[in-house]
Amino acid sequence: MRQSKLFTKTRREAPTDEVSKNAKLLIRAGYIAKEMAGVYSFLPLGLRVLNKVMDIIREEMNAVGGQELRLSALQEPSAWAKTGRWQDDAIDVWFKTKLKNGNDIGLATTHEEPLTVIMKQHIASYKDLPVYAYQIQTKFRNELRAKSGLLRVREFIMKDMYSFSRDDAEHEKFYEKSKSAYKNVFDRVGLGDRTYITFASGGSFSKYSHEFQTISEAGEDIIYVDKEKHIAVNKEVYTDDVLKDLNLKKKELSLKKAIEVGNIFSLGTRFSEALGLSYKDKKGEDRLVVMGSYGIGPERVMGTVVEVLSDGKGIVWPESIAPFRIHLIDLSSGNKKVRDYAEELYEDLLQEKIEVLFDDRDVRAGEKFADADLIGIPYRAVVSEKTMEEGKIEVVDRKNGKTRMLAEAQLYSL
Amino acid sequence: MRQSKLFTKTRREAPTDEVSKNAKLLIRAGYIAKEMAGVYSFLPLGLRVLNKVMDIIREEMNAVGGQELRLSALQEPSAWAKTGRWQDDAIDVWFKTKLKNGNDIGLATTHEEPLTVIMKQHIASYKDLPVYAYQIQTKFRNELRAKSGLLRVREFIMKDMYSFSRDDAEHEKFYEKSKSAYKNVFDRVGLGDRTYITFASGGSFSKYSHEFQTISEAGEDIIYVDKEKHIAVNKEVYTDDVLKDLNLKKKELSLKKAIEVGNIFSLGTRFSEALGLSYKDKKGEDRLVVMGSYGIGPERVMGTVVEVLSDGKGIVWPESIAPFRIHLIDLSSGNKKVRDYAEELYEDLLQEKIEVLFDDRDVRAGEKFADADLIGIPYRAVVSEKTMEEGKIEVVDRKNGKTRMLAEAQLYSL
């Protein structure tokens, strides 16, 4: 895409009420716009990143047998009343509103109830199980405070998967599989080495739930990390009994602040019992379906990447989720030959199906470089009189600043 | 995909409170599930269709220079107050709710206001114009009545594009271009021949707006169609003056019920004036940006296709938006050789990147055929002892019921 056509502009300053690093950088670079505290819109660059994060998640969920669907945000209260989660003291972040006839409805913060109700139409026999269904859909949460940019918001896209299994053994098998799928997601978005699977409280149906926590000073969670074993324990379950159970030693653990980028829960029969989701087993006897839920927030992942990977000059995107792969900078400053070559190179890159942002704007070199650093595309490719004399292109790696002079063909296989 | 794994099941009857043909068929075939009146969830088959409709729209919007973004559903009132659209008497379908601090917020029914505010950050000079921005995002409308399935809903995905132009002439040029883009969309989703560009009331900034109306008894609109010229006039502007203006003759018009599947509006400076979106022209003088808005509801398009193209047996999808291209039916009934061949053919089709739903279920032939008719995939390919004896596959065209015996290779180029 031509930067002269991209309607978003970078800006020197973020809004004064914005305190988080991720929101400041993403707003300054033109990725997002703030509607109100905890509510952001995604501009073209931001949507490109978000789509890549969502596609990675989608691929990993499909790989473990997930079927994608899309549930409604508006929720009728009856199923939630049956599970005891309609009241604000059960889910304290409900946004509620009313139909014209005065009936209460809610904006879903999660979807165990409606999906369990839907499954009653489609699950009758053991032959219909297991089922793994997921969506990538907008959630609403009426957070009291929202000052962490994309890390704690009132409206956000979430990937939520739900598993429906015949029994605990079948459930456990998938639960372990989901851990690997999640690990793949965080590896692929560039957070793998600093993201720890973390033991957290499990609720009534299992000893633990598992969180995926990325070490960051911007995090709201406190975890105790065992670097050697690459696992962690959430402060909420950090007791002598739990450490013993997990075979962890206090002296090998270090306290860290972390961002919860994903979580997985065993739900047992909490929802299937309350809502009557059962199936006939091989003997023809009724049994309750065993459920689990598995969440990742793509926007929070995006915000976390900005928190932990950016530097003093701006954002540093991993290649896998960068809005473009190459930021081509035309430094022709009036030299038509250089200009023509930059245009030609842009067309060649498009031809090669390489995602390229072409800075064809008529602005100073310093401004182009500062914008490129702020926007954070992995490879900056500069074309100028000097590079043309050498018959090469100057490529700078955003991550480490290393500069190379490359031939055009080498650009295709960066 | 294997139908034995697809978790949705067809059902004989739709919910008794469902009166519209589109909702009845889509629920019975397992495309959607009803959350409450006017609120539906999209199950895997339904999401596949919806994604295809959205992709077609996306391609056509990109082709006219649209840049995709994604605005928030939660809306802070201030911009809406400035344009006079926060009050319920201006927009009578607002869903409103409150933040924890008691402040009112709304769920967007449309996005002129927030996008105009965002553009103030990005448009300063004539060099920054024109801009065409669009999103495919969830809208909420508190409709008094919702009994038409996907045709009138309280929560739905909408493609809304907004144009920002220097002056009326530049606006008009794009407005005409958008008409062609819309025509392409309706042609591609299979509604072209029965969809009429329709003159409707224009508001304060232009004589007319334009609607795209698909002839259907399920429609809520009344239009007067000139079949020869392939245009129509909405009842709301059906006056002698308008007919004269448009050079239409009463006797050449026929009254039809129709579904509004799209609309385009010239907004003039209504929003840019109220919200202060101006730019410096070449002479350095401040001028207001001229705007337009352009909507299509992908779910309504999907519902309309079901209304107008289905038959007594079920849904008939156009190839362009069908959830799968081929419905492969295994009629081996215990014959292992036939079964193995069906499996092999399924793998071959996947290899050829053909979207195929494989009915590998252990149910009677009659049930398989009835389900296939209800689900409405364009080509039904049957493998049985009989077809194997002939060394061919029996292919039935869902649209017209025509049967052909084809060799496997011919299946790839259907």
Q: What is the pLDDT of residues A386-407, one digit of tens each?
A: 999 999 999 999 999 999 999 9
Q: Is the pLDDT score of A104 beyond 90?
A: yes
For chain A, say whether B333 makes contact (Cβ under 8 Å).
no
Please answer whether residues A11 and B121 qualify as being in contact, where contact means their C-beta atoms are separated by less than 8 angstroms.
yes
Query: What global pTM score does this model have?
Result: 0.97
* Residues B201-252: tens digit of each pLDDT: 998 788 999 999 999 999 999 999 999 999 999 999 999 999 999 999 999 9
Q: What is the pLDDT of residue B205?
A: 81
* CB-CB under 8 Å, B122 with A73: no
Amino acid at position A352, single letter? E
What residue type is assigned to position A261 of the chain? V
What token pair was written down for B107?
A: 């769920």
DSSP state of A311: B
pLDDT of B83 reads: 97
The per-residue pLDDT for range B24-81, each reduced to its tens digit, is 999 999 999 999 999 999 999 999 999 999 999 999 999 999 999 999 999 999 999 9
If you ran DSSP here, which 8-state letter would residue B311 be given? B
Q: Evaluate if residue A303 carries a pLDDT over 90.
A: yes
**B363 DSSP assignment:** S
Contact A116, A85 (CB under 8 A): no
Selected for mutation to probe chain A from B8, B32, B41, B145 (highest A CB count within 10 Å) is B41
User: Can the peptide bond before residue A130 be classed as cis, meaning omega within 30 degrees of 0?
Assistant: yes
Contacts of A69 in chain B (CB under 8 A): 41-44, 46-47
Q: What is the mean pLDDT of residues B149-160?
A: 97
The four Cα atoms B295, B211, B145, B18 give a dihedral, to 10 degrees, of: -90
Label residues A78-111 b or e (16+ Cβ within 10 Å = b).
ebbebbebbeeeebebbbebebeeeeebbbbbbb
**Average pLDDT over every residue of B361-366:** 96
Residue B72 to residue A39, Cβ atoms within 8 A: yes
Kindly tell me the burial class for residue A255, based on how many C-beta atoms sit within 10 Å of its own C-beta (0-12, 13-18, 19 or more): exposed
Q: Which helix (H) or strand (E) holds B56?
A: helix B44-63
pLDDT in tens, B316-329: 999 999 999 999 99
Mean residue pLDDT of chain A comes to 97
- Encode pLDDT of B85-130 as tens digits: 999 999 999 999 999 999 999 999 999 999 999 999 999 999 999 9
The yes-or-no verdict on residue B147 having pLDDT over 90 is no
Q: Is A68 on the interface with B (CB under 8 A)?
A: yes
Q: How many cross-chain Cβ pairs, A to B, lie less than 8 Å apart?
A: 139
Q: What percent of chain A has pLDDT over 90?
A: 96
How is residue A368 written in tokens?
């182009």
For the question of an ipTM over 0.95, the answer is yes
Is the pLDDT at A147 greater than 90? The verdict is no
Eight-state DSSP code of residue A392: S
Chain Cα centroid distance, residue B112: 20
A39 contacts in B (CB within 8 Å)? 72, 74, 76
CA A282 – CA B350 distance, rounded (Å): 33
Average pLDDT over residues B5-9: 97
- CB contacts of B44 in chain A (<8 Å) are 67-69, 133
Residue B304 to residues A252, B17, B401, Cα–Cα distance (Å): 63, 20, 22
SS3 A215: strand
**pLDDT, tens digit (0-9, with 9 covering 90-100), for B255-285:** 999 999 999 999 999 999 999 999 999 999 9
Question: Mean pLDDT across chain B, nearest whole number?
Answer: 97
Distances (CA, A) of B224 to B87, B190, B212, B300: 34, 22, 13, 21
Rounded to whole angstroms, how far apart are CA atoms A126 and A135? 24
Q: Which of residues 27-46 of B touch A (CB under 8 A)?
A: 30, 33, 35-36, 39-44, 46
Q: Kindly list the residues from chain B whose CB atom is less than 8 angstroms away from the CB atom of residue A97.
A: 95-97, 107, 142
pLDDT of amino acid A205:
81
pLDDT single digits (tens) A266-301: 999 999 999 999 999 999 999 999 999 999 999 999
Q: Which pLDDT tens digit goes with each residue over A322-344?
A: 999 999 999 998 899 999 999 99
Q: Does A15 score more than 90 pLDDT?
A: no
Would you kindly state where each structural domain of chain A is located, as residue ranges? 21-309, 324-412
Provide the pLDDT for residue B15.
85
Q: Scan for tokens 């391609």, then name that residue.
A: B59
Amino acid of residue A301 = V
- Name residue B208's beta-bridge partners: B201
Residue type at position B217:
E
pLDDT value of position A95: 98
Lookup: tokens for B21: 């043909």
The percentage of residues in chain B with a pLDDT greater than 90, rounded to a whole number, is 96
* DSSP three-state, residue B2: strand
Determine the distance in angstroms separating the CA of A128 from the nearest CA of chain B, rounded to an integer: 7
The C-alpha angle B256, B259, B264, rounded to 5 degrees, equals 110
pLDDT attached to residue A168:
97
Q: Which CATH number is A324-412 given?
A: 3.40.50.800
Instruction: Pull the structure tokens for residue A113.
Output: 């109830």
**Which residues on chain A are in Cβ contact (under 8 Å) with B40?**
72
How far is residue B179's CA from residue B214's CA, in Å, rounded to a whole number?
Answer: 15
User: Does residue B143 sit at the A interface (CB-CB below 8 Å)?
Assistant: yes
pLDDT score of A162 more than 90: yes
Q: DSSP assignment, residue B78?
A: H
CATH 3.30.930.10 is held by the domain B21-309 = yes
Task: Give the residue ranges of DSSP H helices in B64-167.
Answer: 78-83, 112-122
Q: What is the pLDDT of residue A283?
A: 98
Which residues contact residue A312 at a Cβ distance below 8 angstroms, ignoring those fewer than 6 apart? Answer: none
Whether B104 has its CB under 8 Å from any CB of chain A: the answer is no
